[in-house]
Structure 1
Amino acid sequence: MEDGNGMQATLLRHDEEVEEGDLKGRIRDESRRIWRVALPSVISRVCTFGTIVVTQSFIGHISNIDLAGFALVQTLSVRFVNGILLGMSSATETLCGQAFGAGQHHMMGIYLQRSWIVDLITLTVLLPIFIFATQIFKLLGQDEAVANSGGYISLWFIPFVYNYVFSLTLQMYLQAQLKNMIIAWLSIFRFGFHILLSFLLVYTLNLGVAGAMIALSVSSWFLVFGEFVYVFGGWCPNSWKGFTVAAFKDLVPVVKLSISSGVMLWYIRHKLSN
C-alpha cells in the first residue's frame, strides 16, 4: 500500500512538473508572439517621435519665437489631427484583422484602399486648422509674434500630416499580417536620414525654419514610399491584388467605424493628457 501511495505521489509530482513546464512554455511562446507584434510598433513610434524632437531642436537653435510657434502647432493642431487619424486607422486594423483571421486575405487590400479614401477626405476637411492657424492662435490669446510664426510653420506642416493617411493605415495593414518588422527597419533608416537631411538643409544650405520643415516632410514620406515599395512590390501577394474600384463600394460602414474609432481614441488621449 505504501509503495502504491508513493508511486501515486511520484506520478502527481511528475504531472505537476509537466504542467509547470507546459505553462512556462506557453508563457514563453505567448510573450514571443506579443513582442513580435509590439516591438516593431514601439520602434516605429519612438522614431516618429524622435523626428519631431530633432526638428524641434533644430528650430530651437534658429529662434526662440519659432520654437514656441512650432511647439504650439505640434501641441494643438498636429496632435489633434494625429489623434483623429490614428483612431480612424484603428478601424483598418480591426477590418484587416478580421479578414486575415477569416482567410479572406484579398479583402485586406480593399479595406486598406477604403481607409485611404476616408482618411484623405477627413484630413482635407480638417485642413483649415492649418491654413488659418494664425487667426485661430490669435483668437486663443496667443502672443502676436508667436501666432504669426505658428501660422507660418503650420503651412509647412500640411505636406507632413498627409503622410499620416498612408503611414498609419499601412502600419495597421501590415501588422494584421505580422509583417510590421519592415516598418521598424524603415523607421530606423528614416530617423537617421532625417538627422542628416536636417543638418544639410538647416546648417549647410542655411534654409532656416523652411529647411527644418522640409526635412521633416521628406523623411516622413521616405517611410511611406518605403512601405509602398514593400506592398506594391509583391511582398504581400495574398492581400494586395492592386487598385480596384471595389474600394469605392460600401464606404458607409467604413466611415461609421472610422469616425467612431477616431472620436473614441481622440477622447481617450485627451482625457489622459489632462
Structure 2
Amino acid sequence: MGDELKESLLQRQENREEAEPLIKRVWNESKKMWVVAGPAIFTRFSTFGIQIVSQAFIGHIGSTELAAFAITMTVLIRFANGVLLGMASALETLCGQAYGAKQYEMLGIYLQRSWIVLFLTSLMMLPIFIFTAPILELLGQDKSIAEVAGSISLWAIGIIFAFIVSFTCQMFLQAQSKNMIIAYLAALSIGIHVCLSWLLTAKYKFGINGAMISTLLAYWIPNIGQLMFVMFKCPETWKGFSLLAFKDLWPIIKLSLSSGAMLCLELWYNTILVLLTGNMTNAQVAIDALSICLNINGWEMMIALGFFAAASVRVSNELGRGSSKAAKFSIVVTVMTSFGIGFILFIFFLFLRERLAYIFTPDPEVAAAVGNLSPLLAFSLLMNSVQPVLSGVSIGAGWQSIVAYVNISCYYLIGIPVGILLGKIIHLQVKGIWIGMLFGTFVQTIVLIIITYRTDWDKQVEIAKRRVKRWAVVEAEE
C-alpha cells in the first residue's frame, strides 16, 4: 500500500510539473543542475589547475623536464585517474539512486566499500610507477625524457592515493548536492599551490623536486577537509566506520570494474595520442605542442565533466525517486546547456591559435606547432561539450557495461586505426592521428545519442528500484 501511495503522489507531482510553462520547467531544472554542475566545474578547474600550474613552472626549467612531466601526467596519472575515477563512478550510481529513494543510511556503507576496492586497485598499479623509466624506453620514448619521467613518477605515487579519497568523497557529496565545500577546498588548494610552486621552483630553485612537493600537497590538502566534512557534517548519510563495509563487496567490485572499463577507455584515448606522437620526427616539439593543446582541451573538459557530474546526479536521483519523465527532461536541459557553452569556446579557440602557447612556453617552434593544431583543438572542444554529458547519463542509469563496449568499438576499432592510417601511412603526422581520433569520438557521440533516445526510461526506473531495494534488504538483514 505504501508503494502505491508513493507512486500516486509522484504521478500528481509530475502532472503539476508538466502543467507549468516550459520556460519555468527549464529554469527549475537548470537550478537543480547548477547546484551540482557549478561547484563541480569550479572544483575540476581548480584540480586540473594544479597540473597546469606545475607544468607552467616546470616549462621554464627546461624542455626535457616539460616533456617528461607531460608524459608522466598525461600518460601515467591519466592512466591511474582513469582506473580510479572509473571505478569510483560506481559509487556515483549507487549513492545517487539510493539518495533519490531516501535510503540515506546506505551511502556511508557504499563509500567505505569503495575505499576498500580503490585502495586495493592502487596497490596493484604501483609497479607501473616504480618502473616508469624502463617501460617508457621500451615503448620507444627518448631516453633522457624517460629518465626524468621515472623520477617524477615516484612522486606521483602519492597522487594516486590522494585520488582514492578525492573521487569517492566528491561522489558521495555530489549525490546529496552538498559539493560546495569541495569547491571551497579546491580554491584554497590551488591558491596554496601557486604560492608554494613559485617559492620552491622560481625563488629557491629546487627544480622538479620542488614542483612535485607542491603538487603533492595540493592534491592532499582538500582531502583532509572533505573527510572532516563527511564525518561531521553528514549525519544522515555517514553513521561512522562499520564492518559492513567488508561484506558483500562483490556487487561493488563488479559495478566498479564495468565503470572503470567504461571511463578508462575514454580517458586513455588521448593518452594513446601522446604515445603515438612520441615515436614521430622531432618528438620533443611534437609532445610539447600536443601536451599544451591537450591541457587546453583538458580545461574545457573540466566544464564538460561538471555537466557529466550534474547529468549523473540528476538522472540517478530521479530514477531512484521513480520519475522517468524528470530524468529525461534533465538530460535535455543538461546536454543543451553544455553544448551552448562548448560552441562559444569553439568559436573563441578557433581564432586564438598559437597565442595560446606562450602561456606555457617561450619556444616559438612549439608555439607554431600549437597554432597548426588549433583547428583540431577547437573541434575537440565542441565535441567534448556533448560526449561526456551523455557518459554522465549512462553513469546515472547504471549502463557502464554497455558504454564500455561502445567505447571499445568507436575509439579502438575506429578512431585509432583511422588515426594511424592518416598519421603514419598518409604522413599527416600528429594532425592525422588527431583527426582519426576525433572521428572515433564523433561516432561514439552519435551512438550514445541513439542509445539515450531509444531507451525505455520507465524500465530504467524499475531497474533502479530493484537495485536499491535489493541492496537495502541486505543492509537491513546484516
TM normalised by structure 1 equals: 0.89
Structure 1 equivalent of residue 121 of structure 2: 122
Structure 1 equivalent of residue 258 of structure 2: 260
In the TM superposition, residue 58 of structure 1 has moved relative to its aligned partner by 1.1
2:167 is equivalent to residue 168 of structure 1: yes
Q: Using the alignment, how far apart are the partners of 1:236 and 1:212 within structure 2?
A: 35
Q: Which amino acid aligns with 2:76?
A: S
Q: Which amino acid aligns with 1:45?
A: R
Structure 2 equivalent of residue 214 of structure 1: 213
- Aligned-pair identity in percent equals 49
Structure 2 equivalent of residue 251 of structure 1: 249
Measured on the aligned residues, the alpha-carbon RMSD in Å equals: 1.5
Judge conservation of contact 2:89–2:171 (CA < 8 Å) in 1.
Answer: yes
Q: Using the alignment, how far apart are the partners of 1:21 and 1:88 within structure 2?
A: 39
User: Which among 239, 242, 253 is matched to residue 241 of structure 1?
Assistant: 239
Judge conservation of contact 2:57–2:202 (CA < 8 Å) in 1.
Answer: no
Q: Which amino acid aligns with 2:118?
A: D
* Residue correspondence of structure 1 range 104-253 to structure 2 within 5 A: 104-232=103-231, 234-253=232-251
Q: Which amino acid aligns with 1:237?
A: P
Q: Deviations over 1:175-210 (max 9, x none)?
A: 000101111111111111110111122233332111
Q: Using the alignment, how far apart are the partners of 1:166 and 1:119 within structure 2?
A: 9
Distance of aligned partners of 1:198 and 1:101 in 2 relative to their CA distance in 1, 3 Å threshold: same
Q: Using the alignment, how far apart are the partners of 1:160 and 1:139 within structure 2?
A: 24
Q: Using the alignment, how far apart are the partners of 1:26 and 1:107 within structure 2?
A: 31
Structure 2 equivalent of residue 6 of structure 1: none
Where 1:201 maps in the other structure, the secondary structure is helix
Q: Using the alignment, how far apart are the partners of 1:205 and 1:112 within structure 2?
A: 41
| Structure 2 gaps, min length 5 | 1-17, 270-410, 416-433, 438-478
Distance of aligned partners of 1:20 and 1:251 in 2 relative to their CA distance in 1, 3 Å threshold: closer
Q: Using the alignment, how far apart are the partners of 2:101 and 2:71 within structure 1?
A: 45
Where 1:142 maps in the other structure, the secondary structure is coil
Q: Using the alignment, how far apart are the partners of 1:197 and 1:245 within structure 2?
A: 40
Structure 1 equivalent of residue 49 of structure 2: 50
Where 2:21 maps in the other structure, the secondary structure is helix
Higher relative contact order (CA 8 A, sep 6+): 1
Where 2:84 maps in the other structure, the secondary structure is helix
Q: Which amino acid aligns with 1:243?
A: F
Where 1:179 maps in the other structure, the secondary structure is coil
In the TM superposition, residue 169 of structure 1 has moved relative to its aligned partner by 0.8
In the TM superposition, residue 64 of structure 1 has moved relative to its aligned partner by 1.6
Q: Using the alignment, how far apart are the partners of 1:145 and 1:131 within structure 2?
A: 17
Q: Using the alignment, how far apart are the partners of 1:249 and 1:204 within structure 2?
A: 51
Q: Which amino acid aligns with 1:118?
A: V
Q: Deviations over 1:4-40 (max 9, x none)?
A: xxxxxxxxxxxxxxx9963221111111111111111
Q: Using the alignment, how far apart are the partners of 1:188 and 1:32 within structure 2?
A: 22
In the TM superposition, residue 48 of structure 1 has moved relative to its aligned partner by 1.2
Structure 2 equivalent of residue 13 of structure 1: none
Where 2:205 maps in the other structure, the secondary structure is coil
Q: Using the alignment, how far apart are the partners of 2:227 and 2:206 within structure 1?
A: 30
Q: Using the alignment, how far apart are the partners of 1:215 and 1:87 within structure 2?
A: 26
Q: Using the alignment, how far apart are the partners of 2:40 and 2:128 within structure 1?
A: 28
Where 1:141 maps in the other structure, the secondary structure is coil
In the TM superposition, residue 84 of structure 1 has moved relative to its aligned partner by 1.3
2:100 is equivalent to residue 101 of structure 1: yes
Structure 1 equivalent of residue 309 of structure 2: none
Structure 2 equivalent of residue 39 of structure 1: 38
Structure 2 equivalent of residue 64 of structure 1: 63
Q: Using the alignment, how far apart are the partners of 1:223 and 1:99 within structure 2?
A: 26
Structure 2 equivalent of residue 3 of structure 1: none
Q: Using the alignment, how far apart are the partners of 1:21 and 1:260 within structure 2?
A: 39
Structure 2 equivalent of residue 11 of structure 1: none
Q: Using the alignment, how far apart are the partners of 1:254 and 1:231 within structure 2?
A: 20
Q: Using the alignment, how far apart are the partners of 2:204 and 2:235 within structure 1?
A: 43
Q: Deviations over 1:201-231 (max 9, x none)?
A: 2233332111100100101100111101211
Structure 2 equivalent of residue 89 of structure 1: 88
Q: Deviations over 1:126-157 (max 9, x none)?
A: 11111100010110111111110010111111
Q: Using the alignment, how far apart are the partners of 2:61 and 2:71 within structure 1?
A: 16
Q: Using the alignment, how far apart are the partners of 1:27 and 1:72 within structure 2?
A: 42
Q: Using the alignment, how far apart are the partners of 1:61 and 1:225 within structure 2?
A: 31
TM normalised by structure 2 equals: 0.52
Where 1:127 maps in the other structure, the secondary structure is helix
Q: Using the alignment, how far apart are the partners of 1:241 and 1:208 within structure 2?
A: 45
Q: Using the alignment, how far apart are the partners of 2:225 and 2:219 within structure 1?
A: 10
Q: Which amino acid aligns with 1:176?
A: A
Q: Using the alignment, how far apart are the partners of 1:227 and 1:202 within structure 2?
A: 29
Q: Using the alignment, how far apart are the partners of 2:196 and 2:24 within structure 1?
A: 46
Q: Which amino acid aligns with 2:248?
A: D
Indicate the larger mover: 254-263 or 223-232: 223-232
- Corresponding residue pairs, total: 255
Q: Using the alignment, how far apart are the partners of 2:98 and 2:89 within structure 1?
A: 14
